[in-house]
Chains A and B, each alone.
Chain A
Amino acid sequence: MAIITDSRTGPASRTRRPLTLDSMVRSALVVLFVVLMVVFILGPLLWLGVRAFAGNWTFPNLLPDDWTLRWWQVVINDGALGVAVQNSLFFAPLTVLVSAIICLPAAYAFARFDFPGRRFFLISLFATNAFPKMGLFVTLAALFYALNLMNTVLGILVVHVLGTVVFMTWIPAAAFAAVPRNLEEAARDAGASKLRVFASVTLPMALPGIIVAAVMSFLASFDEAQGTYLVGAPAFMTMPTQMYSLVLNYPTQVAAVFSILLAIPSVALMLAAHKHILGGQLAEGFQIK
């Protein structure tokens, strides 16, 4: 991001115009912006990375006093971690699947049919994100106690799916809506049934959008902590909820190690999706309308 900002407003404008006060102020602002971005985005990550290998780290020193791999051992030898990883890897894909089954038909309906209350329903999907999460989960917990869903797989699944509904509906809806109608009509004209048109034309063309939604849902589920903790702990600990107890019960270094571990699947998934969508043949689908 820093590079894009710099090259767009920086050198290009500087070579064309003489150095006026105005343009100097502008480049100064750009530099300031870039520095702030670096400090606030990369800074904490850098700190985290260093922290995970730090032994003692006394206050004014810029680097730790000594380095160690001890904290990695602590985390890896902790039996709870393995369970947490397993739980996370169980809930995240399941959440994506359930969310897709529930939300994709809705997304298609939002994109293709004009029904009464369409806009209302579309906007109201944001409702779950509009309120403070914790308040929502407390009410949810009350309901779950009544339905005997506390500490159950189903209960956690409901919490996770709730958090993905917005992505899984809005992004695929936009993707479905972007499929030109006459491409579907051409398939009808060629002799395809409505179902076949969907399978052969609409779905493949909307796939990049659906993959993006699936990745975001996966990450949302993977990172969900509050609701999972409330509904699942202590029976079901996922990686983020496990981190809560690590932060509370161990030195900060352990939390640093664990958050790096937690980030690995997310980063890997993002990179894979990025490569698949921008580098793959699906990207070609977007060049033609």
Chain B
Amino acid sequence: MTIHEPLTEPPASTTEPGAAAGGGLTIRGLHKILGGRTIIDNLDLSVNEGELVSLLGPSGCGKTTTLRMIAGFLEPDAGSIEVEGQEVSHLGAENRPSAMVFQNYALWPHMTVAKNIGFPLKLRKMSKAEINDRVETVLELVSLLHHKDSKPARISGGEQQRVALARALVQEPKLLLLDEPLSNLDAKLRVKVREDIRKIQQELGITTVIVTHDQEEAMSMSDRIAVMNAGRIEQYSTPEALYARPETEFVATFIGSMNRVEGSLNNGLISAGGDILGIRPEDVILHDVPFDGALPATVERVVPRGHFQEVYLRRADAQLRSFVTGELMQPGQQTYAEIRKAMTFRDGRLVAESGAAR
């Protein structure tokens, strides 16, 4: 068992001012009160140039508010927002070097696809020929050239999404903002579109901030994820680190699945105590025969999940969930459950990690 000091300082690489001095986005001390409630509480965030960062959190955590302040639709009460070293918080949305893709795409229904995408260029007083060129280039990028003259209402949701993306990309923004870009798509399309977005983003090397409540979406697309809760960033790290080393109980619960048990772990046995134990279901290992460190357990419920099954177990000391592959288990079946790894949280923060001794 390894005991850590409470992890109060975030890893050095993440929020250190000046980390994105050359480019990207730097937010310092952002604060917003709406209707007497603190929505954003002294938030710092820095995004490196060309990086894709997700703001991930439950609804009401302030992630969309943060994005709207970056885009310029909402004025912060305090704090600074720098895009590529330029302070933008005093600028209106029309003068910021960022472009946004809205949750419901916000395509103008009275304009064709080409007109929608060309509108930002028309505002920049480009010639008709140049607008046409650029619109066609970007339409090709999102493979929608054949819908150039369609009205938004005539194309599918996934296509509308790509038009919205194209309308943002055509502006060649220094910062691309996406507000829940995939939430209106069906599950299968979502996987495809998120891969498309990631591919285009990497190709063009655009600094990107995505707001999402979907952890899978954030994990699969992002270079780094800022997990938000109640107007603060709980943790800001890579997807792998977020899962393997959640700094707070909130992050551990929000990212992935977790058995949350009150008590402490001694020699694989949970004894009652004041701390909170977080055990990932994949760290609960089942054995058919008695095994060192495993306790007898009864299968209470089995939920098939396709390539694995979620097994609800009752052990003498606790109720646990486990992810199991292989033959489908039956309720009432006797087995032996071993806890291979657990995290200990005190006052919501990670204080200890215990791995199996082997």
Which A residues are closer than 8 A to B by beta carbons? Answer: 180, 182-183, 185-193, 196, 200-201, 204-205, 281-282, 284-285, 287-289
Contact = CB atoms under 8 A, between A and B. Distances in A.
A193 B92 CA distance: 9
Given A180-B106, A182-B102, A193 B94 contact: yes
Given A287-B109, A288-B109, A288-B152, A191 B102 contact: no
Contacts of A196: 123
Contacts of A204: 110
Given A182-B104, A284-B153, A189 B99 contact: yes
B104 A189 contact: no
Contact of A185 (B96, B98, B106): B106
Given A182-B106, A183-B106, A282-B110, A191 B171 contact: yes
A287 B110 CA distance: 10
B120 A191 contact: yes
Interface in B147-192: 151-153, 167, 171
Contacts of A200: 108, 119
Contacts of B151: 281, 284
Contact of A191 (B71, B124, B153): B124
B123 A285 contact: no
23 contacts: A182-B102, A183-B108, A185-B106, A186-B108, A187-B119, A188-B72, A188-B92, A188-B93, A189-B72, A190-B94, A190-B119, A190-B123, A190-B167, A191-B94, A191-B123, A192-B94, A204-B110, A205-B109, A205-B110, A282-B110, A284-B151, A287-B109, A287-B153
Given A287-B153, A288-B153, A189 B94 contact: yes
B276 interface: no
Interface string B83-104: 0000000001111101110111
B71 A285 contact: no
Interface string B216-247: 00000000000000000000000000000000
Nearest to B92: A188
Nearest to B177: A189
A192 B100 CA distance: 14
Interface string B115-133: 0000110011000000000
Nearest to B168: A189
B291 interface: no
Given A190-B99, A193-B94, 9 more contacts: A180-B104, A183-B107, A188-B72, A188-B93, A189-B99, A282-B110, A288-B107, A288-B152, A289-B104
Contacts of A281: 110, 151
A177 B167 CA distance: 25
Q: 8 closest A-B pairs (Cβ-Cβ)? A: A190-B120, A186-B106, A188-B93, A182-B106, A288-B109, A191-B123, A288-B153, A285-B109
Nearest to B167: A190
Contact of A187 (B72, B95, B108, B153): B108
Contacts of B109: 183, 205, 284-285, 287-288
A285 B107 CA distance: 11
A188 B153 contact: no
B73 interface: yes
B130 to A, nearest CB: 16
Nearest to B117: A190
A282 B109 CA distance: 9
Contacts of B96: 189
A190 B101 CA distance: 11
A188 B110 CA distance: 17
A168 B106 CA distance: 28
Contacts of B71: 189
A196 B103 CA distance: 23
Contacts of A287: 109, 153
B73 A185 contact: yes
Contacts of A193: 94
Contacts of A282: 110
Contacts of B153: 284, 287-288
Nearest to A196: B123
A287 B99 CA distance: 26
Contacts of A190: 94, 99, 119-120, 123, 167, 171
Nearest to B123: A191
A196 B98 CA distance: 19
